[in-house]
């Protein structure tokens, strides 16, 4: 599986960031985030690793979470050894936030979460079953059929992490726009994460649509600066 690795220009890497792009599980690529990942790498002196996971409909679930899990396991093991540190933050936007959540759940079940400092989850889609109030708002979207139309029960946590046992996860920073159709889905996930005993920082940005952080606006700049500050704090709190 291809990985795009962006290292800081100056100095050794103090940690790694596993970046999972969005695109409804059927669009997008790791390369589209190169500019932002280079900025993040240099600003925080970390190495950003982007996953070129397989896309639906040619490769439906579980291809994408399998690829993301494999990348995370490599980064926490062999990749971390090459970087000199296995301290890692996971991050994803939209469908990538769903995959970041499923990756964390898989790592937890394999008892591999120790070096993971936290997760940055940007306007994720967490209920592909359409059974929750938030999930019903986008239940008819084509990407769900392309990615998981063959899954008999889409409340399975590996498809819809809203229904997972969420105990024992690292801290999460959740960002979503107030005008995003996925707002209710994100509010529900934040509530469930907190109820399971996890540390959650939920930030709702006014007058902001889905994917707002990908555009050159003042709101996006403020959100990105908040992400960087949060990552720095999380890494400083790790041993």
Structural domain 3-236, CATH architecture: 3-Layer(aba) Sandwich (3.40)
**pLDDT at 170 (0 to 100):** 98
From the list 67, 84, 4, the residue with the least C-alpha distance to 36 is 4
Q: What is the pTM of this model?
A: 0.97
**pLDDT at 97 (0 to 100):** 98
Cα–chain center distance at 52? 14
Q: 16: which residues sit within 8 A by CB, 6+ positions away?
A: 46, 47, 48, 49, 75, 79, 80, 83, 85, 86, 87, 88, 89
Give the helix, strand, coil percentages of the chain, each rounded to 5: 40, 15, 40
CA 117 to each of CA 150, 176, 230: distance values in angstroms, whole numbers, following the listed order:
34, 21, 11
Would you kindly state where each structural domain of the chain is located, as residue ranges? 3-236
Instruction: Give tens-digit pLDDT for 172-211.
Output: 999 999 999 999 999 999 999 999 999 999 999 999 999 9
Name the stretches of the chain with pLDDT < 70.
none
What's the CA gap between 117 and 91, in Å, rounded?
A: 11
For the chain, the residue count is 239
Q: Which residue has the tokens 């190169």?
A: 34
**pLDDT at 10 (0 to 100):** 85
């Amino acid at each position: 599986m291809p990985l795009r690795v962006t290292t800081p220009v100056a100095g050794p890497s103090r940690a790694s960031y596993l970046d999972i792009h969005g695109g409804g599980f059927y669009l997008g690529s790791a390369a589209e985030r190169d500019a932002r990942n280079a900025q993040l790498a240099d600003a925080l002196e970390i190495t950003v690793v982007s996953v070129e996971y397989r896309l639906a409909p040619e490769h439906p679930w579980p291809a994408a979470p399998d690829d993301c899990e494999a990348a995370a396991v490599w980064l926490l093991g062999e990749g971390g050894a090459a970087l000199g540190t296995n301290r890692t933050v996971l991050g994803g936007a939209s469908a990538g936030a769903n995959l970041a959540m499923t990756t964390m759940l898989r790592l937890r079940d394999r008892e591999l979460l120790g070096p993971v400092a936290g997760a940055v989850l940007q306007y994720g889609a967490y209920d592909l079953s359409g059974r929750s109030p938030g999930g019903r708002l986008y239940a008819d979207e084509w990407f769900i059929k392309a990615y998981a139309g063959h899954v008999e029960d889409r409340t399975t946590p590996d498809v819809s992490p809203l229904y997972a046992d969420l105990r024992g996860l690292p801290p999460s920073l959740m960002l979503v726009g107030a005008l995003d159709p996925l707002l209710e889905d994100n509010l529900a996930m934040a509530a469930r994460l907190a109820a399971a005993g996890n540390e959650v920082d939920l930030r709702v940005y006014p007058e902001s649509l889905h994917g707002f952080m990908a555009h050159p606006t003042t709101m996006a700049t403020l959100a990105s600066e908040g992400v960087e500050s949060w990552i720095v704090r999380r890494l400083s709190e790790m041993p």
